[in-house]
Amino acid sequence: MNHKRVRALTALLAASTTLAQAQTTLDLWHIQTTDNGKKIIQDAVNRFQKANPGVNVNVVVTPNDTYKTKLKIAVGAGNAPCVFMSWGGGPLYEYIKSDQVLDLTPFLSKNAAFKNRFLPAAWSAVTFDGKVYGIPAENTGVAVVLYNKALFAKYNLQVPKTWPDLLKVVATLKQHNVAAFSLANKAKWPGSMFYGYLVDRIGGPDVFKNAVTRTKGGSFADPTFVKAGQMLQDLVKAGAFVQGYNGLDYDSGVSRQLLYSGRAAMELMGTWELGTIKNENPNFLKNVDFFSFPTVPGGKGNANTVLGTVGDNFYSVSKTCKNPDAASKLLTYLIDDQAAQDRVGDNRLPPVKGLKVTDPLLQRIQQLVSKAPSVQLWYDQDLAPQLGELHKDTSQALLGLSVTPQAAADQMETLAKKILK
Amino acid sequence: MSLITPAKPVRVPSRTRQVRSQNWVAAAFLLPALLTLVVFLVYPLLSSFRLSLLNWNGLGNTARFVGLQNWADLLHDRVFLTAIRNNGVLAGLSILVQIPLGLVLAFLLDRAGRASRALKVLYFLPLLMSSVAIGTVFRSIYDPNFGPLNSVLRALHLDVLAQDWLGDPRLSLIAVIAVVCWQNVPFYMLLFLAGLSSMPAELREAATLDGATEPVIFWRITLPFLQGTIRSAMVLSLIGSLRYFDLVYVMTGGGPSNSSEVMATYMYRTVFSSFNIGYGAAISSAMFIIVAVVAGLTLRATRRFETEV
């Protein structure tokens, strides 16, 4: 063999290994599949790469439901991406318990200025045993009742403040052959919102928390859960929902089509829906307003308490990441001032303080969240995965009148006893 | 070695030696297939059984050995029992609908000869489409508010028949099975067409000369001739129905309230939504046992039937 060639090859090999040492590649997985969502993250990544030469970020975008499975398989196989997105709550806690997620508390205490930019409520879904495992970044997604102002005006309806008010609205709409609520409950989480709010309005925020943490005698068999189930079924029996609600698919947009066509007057949904409507049917948005879930007479809940998440989409660093420092630094770019403002431009409300918002609906969401005494994370995301799945099953069955409220509560409690210590 | 135990020279007859060397060649050729079988079938099967003995969320070293607990739970699991029942309904209706329909279509197309080419392609189309696409399309066809199915029924003044197809627990399973059948009939049609094409023309000619009518030919000649194909079709249909997943998952996700849950959708949810790998593995292992037993019994039963005829 030609010596020169060997030497050249060795040199090349040596050069490439030193290059490989200097270069770090970080994987970043997220689920922002819209063009704007993708661009906002890619821009943030570009700013990070410019400020940190030698660090490459490999961004992978996956649609929502596929993502859940994909992440789980990757983490289970020991191939977790350095930075990954989650919804916090029970599923994230599974990863934490399995020692797969980096504790960001030391990093945040070193970067106090960064930490203090966020609304305090934003940390609740990613804080476990006093430690923080994720950065809230994308949006404030809390459930509100969106309604068609024109329909309300046509039938002389007032925004309902209490449950009896709501039942009156339902009755009037029914007289006129309009469904009160649009609901696409095939995936079960949209219907779960009704149940979560009813539990809160009847029993206050602690009933659910105590049942989950098994403290202060908390239990899923608590009369509050049974009563919530009963009231949900009362609503069904009053004919409040569109036809076929338990079989309709939210992702395909049918629940919104029912609103657009005037066949349904309201929808209980996360505030992201306003952005979706703006993209899908900007004309209709002029007709849309929203109100908070009504109170229940004699209930302990506060009308200002919200169900949802302040921060919706949290970014965490995996323990298998070879360069956790760079990954932690990347987190700060994902929600820097520029990224926050870009998201506002995309009709979203990232959970940072002092956002400049001009859109009136966004402003009202901002107020709603700032005066909320507490934010309850979506039940299906807050609960441990097994319980969350059962909760979705039982709430769909309650809505389908195929289980009694007592039986649904008992099923939850039986499983809770088994898997929660 | 040979110093300690002196090897006795064994005289091998040359014929045996030849056979033995042939065996080696055969084994060498079979090895890749065998390896594939072991790596992709036997090993996963055994690890699935092993996993079914664990309580594990699938992440890291958190697995706990629980013995047969998952299996014991499975026997009392209302949802699993519902899923088995639904798989049974699916299998029964598949056999009752798909195979006769496939047979009739194949027979008619075969009789129609060359004229039927366009029809053949047309009937074959559903099999070429992806299940996800079919599921999505039929979801909108079934939509109770905007879907064409109910609109057509109402236009025909059959308002009574306009239903909440996928949202009503009493109808969801049947609504999904109808689509499953629509998708799979072409497969059986194809199977029977192949069977028919291997039928010697003399059989039919001789029968016609003897004055046999079409129905007689169908019942007395064609059907007995196809019995081997029918048997395979039944076994395939049974096994397929017991493992069914995709259309159910896309159209209803097993709901509402587990009314269209089948074993595979329940297994998928248990593993990927509930993070309960051990229990999911128990479900999939139970599925394996059920499918194996049912397939074995069907094969035996149809074989007996065949020897009786």
**Mean pLDDT (chain B, rounded):** 88
Task: Say if residues A241 and A183 touch (Cβ distance below 8 Å).
Answer: yes
Q: Compare A20 and A311 and report the one with higher pLDDT.
A: A311
- Residue B217 and residue B209: Cα distance in Å, rounded? 12
At B218, the pLDDT band (50, 70, 90 cuts) reads: confident
pLDDT of residue A321 exceeding 80, the answer is yes
Smallest CA-to-CA distance from A396 within B147, B177, B138, B261 is with: B261
Mean pLDDT confidence for A83-101:
93
**Mean pLDDT (chain A, rounded):** 91
At A315, the pLDDT band (50, 70, 90 cuts) reads: very high
Tokens of B38: 């072991």
By percentage, how much of chain A surpasses pLDDT 90?
74
- Residue A397 and residue A385: Cα distance in Å, rounded? 18
How confident is the model over A113-136, as pLDDT tens digits? 999 999 888 898 999 999 999 999
Measured between CA atoms, the residue of chain B closest to residue A94 is: B57
Residue A403 is nearest to which of B255, B257, B276, comparing CB atoms?
A: B257
What does each C-alpha distance from B101 to A47, A124, A337, B107 come to in angstroms? Answer: 62, 58, 64, 10
Mean pLDDT confidence for A269-285:
89
- Residue B111 and residue B117: Cα distance in Å, rounded? 12
Quote the radius of gyration of chain B (alpha carbons, Å). 26
Which pLDDT score, from 0 to 100, does residue B208 have? 85
Four-point Cα dihedral A231, A236, A242, A248, nearest 10:
90
At A26, the pLDDT band (50, 70, 90 cuts) reads: very high
Contact residues on chain A for B256, CB-CB shorter than 8 A: 185-186, 246-247, 396-397, 400, 402
pLDDT of residue B7 exceeding 80, the answer is no
Task: Say if residues B277 and A69 touch (Cβ distance below 8 Å).
Answer: no
pLDDT of residue B308 exceeding 80, the answer is no
How confident is the model over A329-358, as pLDDT tens digits? 999 999 999 999 999 988 889 999 888 888
Contact residues on chain B for A99, CB-CB shorter than 8 A: 60-61
Task: Say if residues A386 and A192 touch (Cβ distance below 8 Å).
Answer: no
- Residue B242 and residue B263: Cα distance in Å, rounded? 8
Smallest CA-to-CA distance from B147 within B160, B164, B169 is with: B164
Positive or negative torsion for Cα A301, A302, A308, A314: negative
- CB contact (8 A) between residue A252 and residue B139: yes
Quote the radius of gyration of chain A (alpha carbons, Å). 24
How confident is the model over B63-99, as pLDDT tens digits? 889 999 999 999 999 999 999 999 999 999 999 999 9
- CB contact (8 A) between residue A99 and residue B60: yes
- CB contact (8 A) between residue B139 and residue A72: no
Smallest CA-to-CA distance from A240 within A155, A302, A181, A166 is with: A181
